[in-house]
Structure 1
Amino acid sequence: MPETAGPGAPLVVVLHGCTQNAAGYDESSGWSRLADQHGFLLLYPEQQRINNPNLCFNWFSPDDAARGKGEALSIRQMVESAKVRHVSNRRRVFITGLSAGGAMAAAMLATYPEVFAGGAVIAGLPFGVASSVPEAFDRMRGHGGPRPEALAELVSAASPHDGKWPTLSVWHGTADQTVDQSNASAIIEQWRSLHGAPKNPARSDLVHGHAHRVWVDSSGREVIEEYSIAGLGHGTPLDTHSTRHGEQAAPFMLEAGISSTRLICRFWGIVTDEAVESDSITRLVHDGHAELRAQPDTHTSASQPAIQTVIEDALRRAGLMK
């Protein structure tokens, strides 16, 4: 718990990706440094090999990604314990994750929307689009899945929620060869109609040279944003060149010249605009109506699909995939 986090502090839940662990993800992403600087709490659920040999959260499993079941219930219980223990602000609980962790973050937002004020999905997938390992790999490749108009119904049916929905920040690399970028569009479509936001974004920018779009609800509140990171492979976008961020490149933790950690916090309102380093932002359109360690990855490389190969090989050996 950061010394700067007093009673009523926000709580951020962070879910690592496959082959990662909590400590490694935290060391690279800069979340702890940001929490120390701005006085909020962090919770790092960590997958165990007994549950998944590749340390992936089981976002595709009906027994783990449903309200009151498995991993989703376990994460929910961890959140409640952290809120009680540290007297955190119950209206300012957020969740984020990378890849399988991002897909699990989407599942938590869908199954326990009353718990979270906002979320962020990095290189992840929509909720409820797969219920088996083969389906999960098909969706990762961008194949199959529910009709666009049915995506929101999956979230609506996941809980008895009848209040405001959590806001959402969506991040994806244009060169991701592990989780197809079409999943980012599907996530936006899944949540856009729940928020009653129009099909067209209210604003489109370039932020640190990358495409950024924002959707608003009928009250003008920003409810969904998307960052499309040009040339980035599969991983969390980082700004490792800024000494004040404390972010470090590692497998699937990628230098991109933009800090997803800090900009996600800005979208949630935990960090102010003034606290985020301001590079030039070019407004293009404004229409209010309308723990592994290896050599650091670059934006794209031949090693990007490696994580999928590792997972598929392990599943074949276990007899779970042909």
Structure 2
Amino acid sequence: MTRTALRAGARAAEQAVARTVEAVAAASAPPPGAGDWLPGQALGPAGLRRFFLFRPAGVRNDERLPLLVMLHGCGQTAAAFARSTRMNRVAAQGRFLVLYPEQDRAANPQGCWNWYDTRSRHADAEAATLMAAIDQACLLYPVDRDAVALAGLSAGASMAALLAVTYPLRFCALAMHSGVPPGSAHSAAGALAAMHGRHPPVVALATGNLPPLLVIHGRDDGVVSPRNAHAAAEQWAAALGAAQAPPRQIQRGTRRPMTVTDFRRGRRLCVRLCEVEALGHAWSGGAAGMLFSDEKGPDASRLIGRFVATQGANARAAKR
């Protein structure tokens, strides 16, 4: 091989390494916007998981703010999920903290949370590890422990639901975006069937203690069947003794319309189901050009922000 060929090969290798380093750095780069992007790690039964916490600018240590825990979907990192959802922008305006745990690729090569693996107890260990991250955030940052909420996309939504069912008294609200309801699967094969809507949930949820639920799902979702959205809403409503109200159509500006169905027990909102027209498997109203993000849908981050703020206020009022 000639020296010219060797030099060309070396340059190509250097460029490939540089591109890889840039891609890794970009995946973990802090999202844009005012506020602090704080790294951390938590150790639990499933091992070590890193996380990032967004803190709005100007937060004092003597105040207590709500905390929203955001669980990403498969193929995403915590930073990519933050950029896609732009939840930090909502948090800065609404003045709340956001915790972004990140799945370890050694635990799942696709970066999915193992929400379904209850037969081997891996799901329970992962849920306990996420609770360790939440507890650490509550210890280190000015968190109002009566106003901690969960949200997630796809596998993150399903893991968030598992957390809410396992630790219901720890959370004031749950938001599932394009997820599968609890009890639908206990293995990887069962998870695939459940994602296609073939396995309705078989777990009877404990009544009374579950936090209010917001479900957002695209009607054109080809990855997680929209049937799961109805199953989650109906499962939750049955556990809370809530009755379904007539659905209503909502459209803001040129964004995709959605059908909203509430389930109430008396005046209390227990479940809200938002079905978005022409939305696939993507975060509704997310940043353009991002994986699993659709900028044309209703702004899911703002919908979630308003929902959890209301439920957090209700939870604090109930404890006074």
Structure 2 length-normalised TM: 0.74
Determine whether 1:127 maps to 2:182.
Answer: yes
Q: SS at the partner of 1:34?
A: helix
What is the aligned counterpart of 1:253 among 283, 286, 293?
293
Q: SS at the partner of 1:36?
A: helix
| Contact kept? 1:203, 1:215, Cα under 8 Å | no
Q: State the shift of 1:268 in Å.
A: 1.8
Identity over aligned residues, as a percent?
34
Q: State the number of aligned residues.
A: 250
Paired residue for 2:278? 231
| Contact kept? 1:5, 1:41, Cα under 8 Å | no
Change (3 A) 1:257 1:145: closer
Alpha-carbon distance between aligned partners in 2 of 1:96 and 1:20, rounded to the nearest angstrom: 15
Q: After superposition, what is the alpha-carbon deviation per residue over 1:3-50, rounded to whole angstroms, capped at 9, x for unaligned?
A: 244421000000000011000010111111111222111111100110
Q: After superposition, what is the alpha-carbon deviation per residue over 1:265-304, rounded to whole angstroms, capped at 9, x for unaligned?
A: 1122269xxxxxxxxxxxxxxxxxxxxxxxxxxxxxxxxx
Paired residue for 1:65? 123
| Contact kept? 1:27, 1:248, Cα under 8 Å | no
Q: State the shift of 1:202 in Å.
A: 5.5
Q: State the shift of 1:87 in Å.
A: 2.8
What is the aligned counterpart of 1:81 among 128, 136, 149?
136
Determine whether 1:182 maps to 2:227.
Answer: yes
Change (3 A) 1:130 1:257: closer
Give, as a single letter, the amino acid of the residue that structure 1 aligns with 2:281.
Answer: H
Alpha-carbon distance between aligned partners in 2 of 1:205 and 1:267, rounded to the nearest angstrom: 18
Alpha-carbon distance between aligned partners in 2 of 1:80 and 1:202, rounded to the nearest angstrom: 39
| Contact kept? 1:175, 1:233, Cα under 8 Å | yes
| Contact kept? 2:84, 2:291, Cα under 8 Å | no
Alpha-carbon distance between aligned partners in 1 of 2:151 and 2:180, rounded to the nearest angstrom: 12
- Unaligned ranges ≥5, structure 2: 1-54, 312-320
Paired residue for 1:31? 87
Q: State the shift of 1:264 in Å.
A: 1.1
Give, as a single letter, the amino acid of the residue that structure 1 aligns with 2:171.
Answer: F
Q: After superposition, what is the alpha-carbon deviation per residue over 1:117-176, rounded to whole angstroms, capped at 9, x for unaligned?
A: 001001000012111111000011111334xxx54x1x32xxxxx753211110111111
Alpha-carbon distance between aligned partners in 2 of 1:176 and 1:5, rounded to the nearest angstrom: 39
Q: State the shift of 1:203 in Å.
A: 5.5
Paired residue for 1:222? 269
| Contact kept? 2:208, 2:239, Cα under 8 Å | no
1:185-224 alignment runs, 5 A limit: 185-198=230-243, 200-201=244-245, 204-208=248-252, 209-218=257-266, 220-224=267-271
Structure 1 length-normalised TM: 0.73
Alpha-carbon distance between aligned partners in 1 of 2:270 and 2:107, rounded to the nearest angstrom: 34
Alpha-carbon distance between aligned partners in 2 of 1:30 and 1:248, rounded to the nearest angstrom: 11
Paired residue for 1:290? none
Q: SS at the partner of 1:193?
A: helix
Alpha-carbon distance between aligned partners in 2 of 1:214 and 1:174, rounded to the nearest angstrom: 17
Paired residue for 2:49? none
Alpha-carbon distance between aligned partners in 1 of 2:171 and 2:122, rounded to the nearest angstrom: 18
What is the aligned counterpart of 1:104 among 159, 174, 180?
159
| Contact kept? 1:5, 1:40, Cα under 8 Å | no
Moved over 4 A (4+): none
Q: SS at the partner of 1:227?
A: strand
- Unaligned ranges ≥5, structure 1: 157-161, 240-246, 272-322
Paired residue for 2:25? none
> Root-mean-square deviation (CA), in Å?
1.9
Larger relative strand fraction: 2
Radius of gyration: which is bigger?
2
Alpha-carbon distance between aligned partners in 2 of 1:252 and 1:101, rounded to the nearest angstrom: 13
| Contact kept? 2:208, 2:240, Cα under 8 Å | no
Paired residue for 2:192? 137
Larger relative helix fraction: 2
Paired residue for 1:244? none
Change (3 A) 1:217 1:207: farther
Alpha-carbon distance between aligned partners in 2 of 1:143 and 1:196, rounded to the nearest angstrom: 25
Change (3 A) 1:163 1:46: same
Change (3 A) 1:203 1:269: farther
